[in-house]
Every structure is written in structure tokens, then in C-alpha cells.
Structure 1
Amino acid sequence: MPVREFTDGLDLDEVLLVRSVDRLPRRDGGEYLKVVLGDRTGSVPAMIWDGAADALPLLTPGRPVRVIGRYGVHPRHGAQLTVRAIRTAVSGTYDLADICDGPALPLGRLVAELRALVAGVDHPHLRALLERIVGDDAPDWPRYRDAPAAKHLHHAYRHGLLEHSVTVAQGVAAMAGTFPGLDRDVAVAGTCQAG
């Protein structure tokens, strides 16, 4: 079940991706773990009150783990998952594409929208240049298509550069008509190839 569909009181046994881990002190001198877990639909804080030392080796950011616990919405602390057990995620029991961050639109649609933007460039030399950079047969197209837009802050996932470039180019195309003297083709070409 996707994180965004979790409801108060839900018992779950899911494979989620570890986003971050914090070791925090308990009043009794021990420690507990506050972990952020997620999938492509969102993330949720998770508390591991018991067995922190045993769970810690499995909790590497970017690693999928099998999580058994209960999701709840606390009046004071908000939404969180109370973890009863953490297990190694067994290959074949999950699809990595479902738990890793990714673009909001499917890849095929992003590519189609990029192709429509390129086709809408009237200047033949600019359109030819774009085809050499982002066309289906362009040597660097696979790397461009799959690249993240950034390492950390925005669109930092596979196909992130493509998603960012398409959304910025669509905005530029829509706004180009409102600015006298702005060459729409140059503006769209600049954003399609550079993000």
C-alpha cells in the first residue's frame, strides 16, 4: 500500500525505502531510532523504541527494508509509524520503482511532452539542434533522459532532469507570449536542453 494511503490505526507489513536515521537518547540511558521511511508517494516518520541496536545495521539511507508496525496519527506528534520489526527486504517481493523517488508523470508521457515542445520550435536550426541533443537518436539522449536534475535538493532522482526541463520549458512556452520581444523558440530551446 502506498504511503499516501496509510490511515490511522493501519497495521502494515511493507517494503519501504530508508530516507534517514537518527539515533536519539532515551531517558533510561538507552537509545531509540527515529527513521524516515518512504516510497514514491511520500514519506513517514517511524519510531523504533525497542531493539534499536539490532535494527540499526539494516537502516542505511537509500536501502529498502521490510517494516512491520502500526501507522497512527497522534494528536501531539502527528502521523508516525511505530515499528515492531525491521527485516531485510527480500529481492523479488517489491518493485524498486515503487519505493524510489521519481517524476510525477510516467516516463513515456514526459518524453512525449518533450517531443511536443521540440516540434513546436519553428526555427529549423534550433529544432535541429534540439534533435541532436534530446532526439531519440542523439548519442547522449539516454544519459539526459535518465539523469537526476540535482544531487540533493530538487528532482534528485532518475529522470529528474527530464521532468525539470519539461516543466520549465512548458512554463516558458506559456509565458513567452506575454513578454514583447522575447523569442519563444530561443527560450524553449534553452530550457529544453539545459533544464
Structure 2
Amino acid sequence: MKEIFISQLNSFEETRVFDTYFLVLHRQLRTTQTNKPYLNIVFCDKTGQLEGRVWDVNDSRIAKDFERGDVVKVRGCVSRFNDRLQMKVEQLRKALSTEEVEKADLMPATTYDVQELWQKLLGFIDSFTDPHLKLLVGNIFNNLQIASAFREAPAAKQLHHAYLGGLLEHVISLLTLADRVAPHYPILHRDLLLTGVMLHDIGKIQELSWDVGFEYTTEGILLGHIQMGASLAEKTMDAIPDFPPRLKTLVLHVILSHHGKLEFGSPKLPMIPEALVLNFLDDLDAKMQAVQGEFDKCAREGKAPDELTGKVWALDQRQLLNTRGWLGPAEPGKTEPEDQSQTELFFGLK
């Protein structure tokens, strides 16, 4: 049974020796600046990733037969190099059986109930008034193979919602946002917008693999999820008798343009209101989840609220300020934190 997780290691003293299980994402033989060989290993569990070092590659206590995808039990201690946490591995062996540790402990996963998320998706489908679009998304998500993959898939390899169930969580978040935005702008075709939300990333169930960490499939590298998703939608619409040709064009356009810019991988720029709104909401949800994820990571590491004050996160090429932390508690008798220079505020420099 796994009792120690990566998220806990930040609070460990560097002299503390511990034993735990990890999934191996990567192993590579490297050399130091003095030309001494060492083994670099990337471990993971459901709370994150951690680099490990085996400094003596000939140590008999280090198994030689483990590879990427293996579950291993390791003993060692943490250290910090250039302000980054890493592990000094002293012993390592392959897990003797799958009963030693649950696979669910080794892969990051959504904290939401997947069954509840799935029921919300089906509820949105039931709310459609356009019969053709309702039949389209219904046919796709009634496919057992697609449904199973969609419930498990991450939404990305690294950036946003990069965990099991992340794709479904992302889509439900977007559906909730889109359903609130649609009544505000009467020009929008609600069911078309929601169809775009449901299908814009459907190609990721083919683009990504998640058996061992999160990786791109060969087809995903060569084709990409946008093309894959459009192809699936087109085949499904072609199989529906009398599906309106113009509506088919709009559905495909929403999928093909959802990245918003040609340099971001979109074959087309958004040219209808529903495509424009989907692009904005998709970008918003991805970025907000990334920021929230950093905030949650700080909380998991046990940092006190005052340590989060003024916290700045990098997003793309920008710096984002933790506004609530910087403003401080709005309570009687509480004073605001002392003002900071722009350099301190946005780049964390003192």
C-alpha cells in the first residue's frame, strides 16, 4: 500500500529516509560534468512528478530490469538543487505484483466524481432542442468505446487538466460556462455552441495515450486532435439520414477553428459567433484551471496562507498575481500588506 506521495515530500527533511512506490515515466543514463555516469529517473504518482538520481549505477541494490511503465518500490531521501526538489535513490526494485500498490495511486486523476460528470454530460444532451445535433452527439457518446475513453482521458499531456478524467472535467466546465453565456447573446445558436464544446476535443481520445503517464500516439503526432475530431464528427453526420449539409459545415467549422489562431494549430479562424465564443471559453477555462492547479499545489504542500500572499505564477509568457493573497483579508482591524514595487509584484524579486 502506498502511504507517501510526492506532494508530501516538500515538507521532508533532507536526511529523512523513506520507502514508497512510484510509476516510472522515464529513465536515462547520463554523465556528470566530471564524466561520471548516473541514472536519471522520472517518477510519478497521482499527486505529481519527481526526478530521481542514482549516483552509483553499479550499486547492487538498484534493479537493472525496470523500464518505463514499471511500478517500483524505492528507498531514498529528498534533496534540493537549484530550488527544485529531487530524490536521491538508494534502493530500487520492481513491484512484485499489482497487489502491492493500487494503480489509481500512481496516476493523477480528477478530484470530481466521474459518474456525476458523465450524468451532467448526458443531461446537457437531453436539453438539446435541435433534433439533428441531439442525434449527432447522442450517437457519438452512446458508443461504448468512445464513452469509456472520454471518461478516462486527460485533456492534455502537460498544460491544463492533465490528469485522468481531465477531458470530461474540462468539457463539463465549458458546457456550464457556455450554457450561461448563450442566453446573454441571442445571436448564438445554443445547441450548436454546446455541440462544439462537446466535440472540440473529442479527438484527444485518439491523440493521447494514458496507460503509462500521458503521451502522444503516433497518429496524434501526425494528425492532431483537431483533424481527428473533425473526421469523427463528419463520419457520424454522414451516417445520419438527411443531416442538413449547412449544419454539418457549421459543426465542422466550430471544431476546426476552436484554437482560434493559425499559429495555435487551427486550420481555420473562427468565422461564426459560436466558434468565436467556444475559442474564448476554451482558452479561459484552460488558463484558469492551470492557475487554480498552481494554487492547489501550494495548498497541498502545506504552505500557510501568509506564504501565498503576493504569489505570482507564470502563464504562457506572462506573470499572474494572486490578487486575493496580495490584497489580504478584508476584516476590521486588518491592514493591507505594504505596497510593493512593480518588479517585486510581478516578478517575485526582492
How many Å separate the matches in 1 of 2:127 and 2:137? 11
For normalisation by structure 2, the TM-score amounts to: 0.47
Partner of 1:3: 6
Offset at 1:141? 4.4
Offset at 1:75? 6.4
Inter-CA distance 125–50: structure 2 relative to 1 (3 Å threshold): same
Higher Rg: 2
Which structure features the higher share of helix residues?
2
Offset at 1:95? 0.6
Please tell me whether residue 83 in structure 1 is matched to residue 89 in structure 2: yes
Which structure features the higher share of strand residues?
1
How many Å separate the matches in 1 of 2:43 and 2:162? 17
Inter-CA distance 174–42: structure 2 relative to 1 (3 Å threshold): farther
How many Å separate the matches in 2 of 1:27 and 1:84? 21
How many Å separate the matches in 1 of 2:128 and 2:165? 23
Structure 2 letter corresponding to 1:33: L
How many Å separate the matches in 1 of 2:83 and 2:167? 35
Please tell me whether residue 145 in structure 1 is matched to residue 153 in structure 2: no
Offset at 1:42? 0.5
Does the 8 Å contact 1:31/1:52 carry over to 2? no
For normalisation by structure 1, the TM-score amounts to: 0.77
Inter-CA distance 75–149: structure 2 relative to 1 (3 Å threshold): closer
Offset at 1:94? 0.4
Partner of 1:187: 193
**3-state SS of 2:195 partner:** helix
Partner of 1:97: 104
Inter-CA distance 149–29: structure 2 relative to 1 (3 Å threshold): closer
Inter-CA distance 26–18: structure 2 relative to 1 (3 Å threshold): same
Of the three residues 45, 51, 54, the one matched with 1:45 is 51
Please tell me whether residue 116 in structure 1 is matched to residue 135 in structure 2: no
Partner of 1:24: 30
Name the Cα RMSD after superposition: 3.1
- Listed as ranges, the matches of 1:49-64 within 5 Å are 49-51=55-57, 55=62, 57-64=64-71
Offset at 1:78? 2.3
Partner of 1:66: 73
Offset at 1:147? 5.9
Higher relative contact order (CA 8 A, sep 6+): 1
**3-state SS of 2:85 partner:** strand
Q: How many residues align?
A: 192
| Gapped regions of structure 2 (runs ≥ 5) | 202-350
Structure 1 letter corresponding to 2:5: P
**3-state SS of 1:109 partner:** helix
Of the three residues 131, 134, 146, the one matched with 2:141 is 134
**3-state SS of 2:26 partner:** strand
Structure 2 letter corresponding to 1:148: A
The percent of aligned pairs where both chains have the same amino acid is 23
How many Å separate the matches in 2 of 1:163 and 1:107? 8
Inter-CA distance 76–153: structure 2 relative to 1 (3 Å threshold): closer
Q: Deviations over 1:62-95 (max 9, x none)?
A: 22111111124x2634211111111111221101
How many Å separate the matches in 2 of 1:21 and 1:147? 26
Structure 1 letter corresponding to 2:179: A
Inter-CA distance 192–79: structure 2 relative to 1 (3 Å threshold): same
Offset at 1:157? 6.3
